[in-house]
């Protein structure tokens, strides 16, 4: 996806002259484009878009006309964020909330996606393919704690430089397959992602969000689909950490900024288990 270079009024401290030095903020869009042919998880609806009213259907007295659309999509279609209500374990949501009781009205009265406030948090990209010397991870490849540790060593400050409250995004290279829905879903061959040890490594860093570029933030073995989702259970039920999925991470990985911030702003869909998302990476640089 093409980034947009956006000037932003900001100031960095000039420690020599004690004058504010101008800086500029650039934006890298981490959302995948939405259209009817995008990949979608077998357990979620896809994306439908129709023009309900076309130009010329009704023409105003001044010669103008309007058009409008209908969108039908799941809350976990395309780039999106999982709310804590998305996963339960033994009938309980995060914090011991009774899942059956919370969903009785047809939408969740606890842990709906509207409880995820818009935020700007430090961003950390864990580029696993780069750490392993490949362009893209193989189908069904597990990402364990050692792989994430290797990816963290590529960062400025290394693993010790990951502060609590950051958004930890794991790149697999899978976004390269976004325009091939069958290959992206990869039901027969599996999908790369964190395994139980990788999930535990991430959780130990106390992130505000975790995410990746795949259908599920999870190691999906060949032919098994979503039969087991231990990392979802760990993050959403045990730790209370929302999950961002199907992010577009290739441009961010190519740039590999030393520091950046992530803008996360889910739609305030009351009682929903997730929301479409357009996450933005903000990179601030001093002007020379």
Q: Residue 20 forms beta bridges with which residues?
A: 13
Q: How far apart are CA 197 and CA 148, in angstroms?
A: 10
Mean pLDDT of the chain: 91
Which pLDDT score is estimated for 25?
87
- What pLDDT band is residue 21 in, cutting at 50, 70 and 90? low
pLDDT, one tens digit per residue, over 107-135 is: 999 999 999 999 999 999 999 999 999 99
Running DSSP on this structure, what letter comes out for residue 287?
Answer: -
pLDDT, average across residues 222-251: 90
For residue 164, CA distances in Å to 121, 150, 168, 170 come to 10, 19, 10, 16
**pLDDT classification of 4: cutoffs 50, 70, 90:** very low
pLDDT tens track for 131-176: 999 999 999 999 999 999 999 999 989 999 999 999 999 999 999 9
Show the domains of the chain with their CATH numbers. 28-46+75-286 (3.50.30.50)
- The radius of gyration of the chain's CA atoms, rounded to the nearest angstrom, is 21
Q: Quote the DSSP letter at residue 250.
A: H
Within the chain, residue ranges assigned H as helices are: 99-102, 128-132, 145-152, 181-185, 196-204, 230-232, 250-255
Looking at the predicted structure, is the pLDDT value of residue 32 above 80?
yes
**pLDDT tens figures, 170-195:** 999 999 999 999 999 998 999 999 99
Three-point CA angle 190, 212, 260, nearest 5°: 160
Q: DSSP 3-state assignment of 221?
A: coil
Question: Which pair of tokens denotes residue 197?
Answer: 């040890």
The mean per-residue pLDDT over the stretch 248-275 comes to 97
Within 10 A of 153 (CB to CB), how many other CB atoms are there? 11
- Reduce the DSSP state of residue 130 to 3 states and report it: helix
pLDDT (0 to 100) of residue 225: 59
């Amino acid at each position: 996806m093409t980034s947009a270079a956006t000037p932003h009024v900001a100031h960095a401290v000039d420690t020599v002259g004690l004058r504010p030095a101008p800086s500029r903020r650039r934006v890298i869009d981490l959302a995948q484009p939405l259209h009817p042919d995008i990949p979608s998880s077998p357990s979620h609806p896809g994306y439908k878009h129709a023009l309900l009213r076309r130009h010329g259907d009704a023409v105003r007295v001044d010669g103008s006309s309007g058009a409008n659309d209908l969108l039908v999509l799941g809350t976990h279609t395309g780039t999106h964020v999982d709310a804590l209500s998305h996963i339960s374990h033994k009938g309980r949501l995060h914090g011991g909330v009774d899942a059956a009781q919370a969903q009785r009205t047809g939408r969740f009265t606890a842990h709906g996606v509207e409880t995820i406030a818009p935020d700007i948090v430090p961003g950390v990209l864990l580029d696993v393919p780069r750490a392993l010397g490949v362009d893209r991870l193989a189908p069904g490849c597990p990402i364990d704690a050692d792989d994430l540790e290797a990816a963290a060593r590529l960062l400025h400050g290394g693993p010790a430089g990951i502060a609590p409250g950051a958004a930890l995004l794991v790149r697999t290279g899978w976004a390269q397959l976004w325009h091939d829905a069958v290959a992206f879903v990869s039901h027969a061959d599996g999908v790369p992602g964190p395994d139980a040890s990788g999930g535990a490594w991430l959780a130990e860093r106390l992130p505000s969000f975790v995410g990746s570029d795949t259908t599920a933030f999870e190691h999906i073995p060949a032919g098994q689909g979503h039969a087991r989702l231990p990392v979802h259970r760990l993050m959403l039920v045990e730790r209370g950490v929302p999950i961002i999925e199907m992010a577009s991470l290739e441009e961010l990985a190519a740039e590999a900024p030393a520091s950046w911030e992530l803008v996360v702003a889910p739609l305030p869909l009351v009682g929903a288990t997730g929301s479409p998302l357009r996450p933005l990476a903000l990179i601030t640089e001093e002007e020379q």
